[in-house]
Amino acid sequence: MRDLPTLRQMDTPLKVLFTGYLTTVAVGYLMALIQILFTHGMADGKFGLSIEDIVYSYYGNRSGTVLETQLNGAMKENASEQERFQIIQWVRDGADKDEYADRGVDKIIKERCVMCHNKESALPDFTNFAVLKELSKQDTGATFSSLTRVSHIHLFGIAFIFMFVGLIFSFAETSSPRLKSLAIGMPYIFLLADILSWWLTKLSPNFALLVILAGSGMAMSFAYMWLVSVLEMWLYPKVFLNAQGEPYPAWEQLLADKYHAYGGPDKVKRLIGFGKDLFATLLPQLLKLWRQLLERVKRK
Ligand code: HEC
């Protein structure tokens, strides 16, 4: 990049183009997060994203049926307590076709669900009994076909977004080449880890934490590149220069100085030794906690 202008030096029209793109993508990112809160976030019937939500969404709530999980989760608001109870009882008793009408479940479905779940919508069509019957089976979470669909859309779409965000950020001058490579490369690793973790969680609930970690990693890389790019384009003198107009030392340099001031490699070796001991002591406890958490999720 030696002969190319830095973000600060770019012509205003180009800055406007870059900023417009970054802002639009950021709003899109925000909308995606809100959507996650409303779909996956509601999987356990409570607002906010938790490990249980991730397990229910991908692995399923295997002690229950799809209808039951949904009626206690994302579909909770669509019927009264009494109506949901009636549907769930019918499902638990085997979702028998004759009892569907006898118990009045057909009326509830018609009144409360069919306005959205009908032939015209892309949702499961509840005017067809076979569809309803299918959803009364064990809840095994996301289906393989839905996972392949969402996986490839995410891989293509998000790779594109990070292509341009990374390209813009590559003209930044305040991060060292090493840090820039890291920030540009990380989202791709996190993206692959994120998609992989959905599939792994589908197979075993143990991987639910990986979904959250990979997603957070991606968001952090995005936020870092976004912020540095926009600040360098529009607020360079304010943010990156001191009162004398000299650049602040890069915070990497500050860290390196601190590191040496505090004893450098020797100290780190001792700390690593200490960390290892601590980890070895804590690991069994952590594993126990994790197993208890999963047990709780499964029992619900
Ligand atoms: C306001 C529209 C609306 C109403 C009313 C509604 N649903 Fe839904 N339902 C949806 C949407 C949208 C989805 C997909 C949500 C998602 O992907 O997380 C969905 C998904 C579901 C699913 C999961 C389907 C699957 O293949 O995983 C079930 C089961 C379900 N609804 C049951 C019900 C029941 C039972 C009722 C009636 C008590 C009901 N819904 C009422 C909009 C509605």
Region 265-270: mean pLDDT is: 86
Q: Which of 208, 171, 211 is nearest to 61 (CA)?
A: 208
More confident residue, 46 or 300: 46
Going from the Cα of 233 to the center of ligand 1, the distance in angstroms, rounded, reads: 45
pLDDT at 48 over 90: no
Residue nearest to atom 23 of ligand 1 (CA): 70
> Which of 116, 118, 129, 137 to probe ligand 1 with, by most ligand atoms within 8 A of CB?
116
More confident residue, 21 or 47: 21
Distances (CA, A) of 116 to 35, 121, 149: 18, 7, 22
**Within a 10 A sphere around the Cβ of 74, how many other Cβ atoms?**
19
Distance CA 29, CA 256 (A): 34
Going from the Cα of 26 to the center of ligand 1, the distance in angstroms, rounded, reads: 29
Distances (CA, A) of 256 to 97, 127, 130, 262: 71, 66, 65, 10
- For residue 266, the model assigns a pLDDT of 85
Q: Which residues, including other chains, have CB under 8 Å from residue 194's CB and lie 6 or more apart?
A: 154, 211, 214, 215, 218
Lowest mean pLDDT among 15-19, 30-34, 124-128, 237-241: 237-241
**Model pLDDT for residues 15-27, shown as the tens digit of each residue:** 999 999 999 999 9
Going from the Cα of 117 to the center of ligand 1, the distance in angstroms, rounded, reads: 7
| Torsion sign, CA atoms 50, 201, 39, 158 | positive
- For residue 248, the model assigns a pLDDT of 78
Ligand 1 atom nearest 84 alpha carbon: 38
Residue nearest to atom 14 of ligand 1 (CA): 123
Distance CA 223, CA 228 (A): 9
CA atoms within 13 A on the CB side of 252: 7
Going from the Cα of 6 to the center of ligand 1, the distance in angstroms, rounded, reads: 50
pLDDT at 1 over 60: no
> Which of 123, 144, 153 to probe ligand 1 with, by most ligand atoms within 8 A of CB?
123
- For residue 40, the model assigns a pLDDT of 83
- For residue 232, the model assigns a pLDDT of 94
Percent of the chain with pLDDT over 90: 65
Band (133; pLDDT cuts 50, 70, 90)? very high
Exposure of 298 by Cβ count < 10 A (0-12 exposed, 13-18 middle, 19+ buried)? middle
- For residue 278, the model assigns a pLDDT of 92
Going from the Cα of 114 to the center of ligand 1, the distance in angstroms, rounded, reads: 9
35 backbone dihedrals φ, ψ, rounded to 5° = -65, -40
Distance CA 194, CA 199 (A): 9
**Model pLDDT for residues 168-223, shown as the tens digit of each residue:** 999 999 888 888 999 999 999 999 999 999 999 999 998 999 999 999 999 999 99
- For residue 2, the model assigns a pLDDT of 63
- For residue 202, the model assigns a pLDDT of 93
Tokens encoding 35: 């959507």
pLDDT at 47 over 90: no
Distances (CA, A) of 114 to 42, 141, 230: 21, 23, 47
- For residue 52, the model assigns a pLDDT of 87
Band (87; pLDDT cuts 50, 70, 90)? very high
More confident residue, 35 or 161: 161
Going from the Cα of 75 to the center of ligand 1, the distance in angstroms, rounded, reads: 6
